[in-house]
Amino acid sequence: MAGYESEHTKFMREWMEKHPEEREEQKKGRALWWDKPQDAETQQQYAAARVDQKPYPYSAES
């Protein structure tokens, strides 16, 4: 399905062509919620503190 493009994708592509000023707003929104710097030390601490979960945590046989 390499040639398929959804109706929503077509709409958004056309809309962005008609409203190029929205590209900057899109970047701001992405930076606000997604593009955050990652701290390797913090990630290592999270990984070290991870506790494996037992299968079926809601089972009566605990």
Whether residue 11 contacts residue 17, with contact meaning beta carbons closer than 8 Å, is answered with no
Structure tokens at 50: 């991870």
pLDDT in tens, 49-60: 999 887 877 766
Residue 62 has pLDDT above 60, yes or no: no
CA distance 43 to 16: 36
What number is the average pLDDT over the span 22-27?
91
Q: What is the CA radius of gyration of the chain?
A: 22
Could you tell me what percent of the chain has a pLDDT over 90? 55
Q: What is the pLDDT of residue 49?
A: 95
Q: Is the pTM value of this prediction over 0.75?
A: no
